[in-house]
């Protein structure tokens, strides 16, 4: 009985080892075709016996292998995105704040809780203040047609660092990162994010942005570790609400 039990344990260990080796090989080949050996592997069955307290038959079918390999490939994709998020984020070297000030139309964004109620016509307006800070007004149209706005201010995150890394405050003492990742040389568009890759906005001076420009910005965001598949397009209409003055 001891010998039989040991043989069954050895056989179980060998099958588990083959499964582990197969999955490790799939992970190492993330982004490539799955191992055909794993896909083509036929059904393997381990008989544990039917005695009291003994385990039931366990089988690993070809479908089971395929599911495991597919899950491994998906996991590898997630790991790739997370690895990108661990890298330092590149920002624009410098901006002319006077040229950056003014009204921007939101073209696309990642989902966020503070725009959850917005249905479209989202804009951001920036005004240079006498105290050196930047006045901020964000507004959007609600589903019932009303316009909602919120005021805040922005300042340089580090006076010795680039002026493209800002801290924004809407409700003191809470602040958030506002990093300008890219900006058009003519200040016709801009892309704004933050180091955790949780928030992303694509802005334009006009209600609509050329699709070719948008595609380039999406590729840039992808290179910075963003999951651009979650991006939401913001509807902009011809009767956008008037801009509220920033203070």
pLDDT per residue of the chain (247 residues) written in tens, 0 to 9: 444 445 555 555 565 666 566 555 544 544 444 444 444 444 444 344 444 554 444 444 555 545 555 555 445 444 444 545 568 999 999 999 999 999 999 999 999 999 999 999 999 999 999 999 999 999 999 999 999 999 999 999 999 999 999 999 998 888 999 999 999 999 999 999 999 999 999 999 999 999 999 999 999 999 999 999 999 999 999 776 776 655 5
Q: Is the pTM of this model over 0.75?
A: no
Please list the residue range(s) of the chain that carry CATH number 2.40.128.20: 97-233
Whether 62 contacts 13, CB under 8 Å: no
pLDDT for the residue numbered 42: 41
pLDDT for the residue numbered 77: 47
Q: Where are the beta strands (DSSP E) in the chain?
A: 44-46, 58-60, 102-109, 120-128, 134-141, 147-156, 165-171, 174-183, 189-193, 200-204, 232-233
Answer whether CATH 2.40.128.20 is correct for domain 97-233: yes
pLDDT for the residue numbered 87: 82
pLDDT for the residue numbered 17: 65
């Amino acid at each position: 009985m001891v010998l039989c039990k040991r043989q069954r344990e050895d056989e179980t260990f060998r099958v588990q080892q083959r499964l582990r080796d197969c999955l490790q090989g799939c992970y190492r080949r993330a982004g490539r075709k799955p191992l055909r050996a794993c896909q083509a592997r036929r059904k393997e069955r381990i008989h544990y016996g039917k005695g009291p307290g003994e385990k039931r038959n366990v089988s690993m079918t070809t479908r089971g292998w395929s599911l495991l390999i597919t899950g491994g490939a998906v996991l590898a994709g997630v790991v790739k995105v997370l690895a990108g998020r661990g890298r330092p984020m590149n920002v624009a070297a410098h901006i002319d704040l006077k040229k950056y000030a003014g009204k921007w139309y939101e073209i696309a964004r990642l989902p966020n809780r503070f725009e959850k109620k917005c249905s479209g016509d989202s804009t951001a307006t920036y005004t240079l203040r006498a105290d050196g800070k930047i006045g901020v007004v964000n507004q959007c149209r609600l589903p019932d047609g009303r316009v909602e706005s919120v005021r805040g201010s922005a300042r340089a995150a580090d006076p010795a660092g680039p002026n493209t890394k800002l801290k924004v405050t809407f409700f003191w003492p809470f602040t958030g990162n506002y990093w300008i990742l890219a900006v058009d040389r003519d200040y016709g568009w801009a892309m704004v994010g933050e180091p955790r890759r949780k928030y992303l906005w694509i802005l334009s001076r006009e209600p609509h942005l050329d699709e070719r420009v948008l595609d380039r910005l999406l590729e840039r965001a992808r290179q910075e570790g963003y999951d651009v598949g979650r991006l939401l397009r913001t509807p902009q209409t011809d009767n956008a609400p008037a801009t509220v003055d920033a203070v």
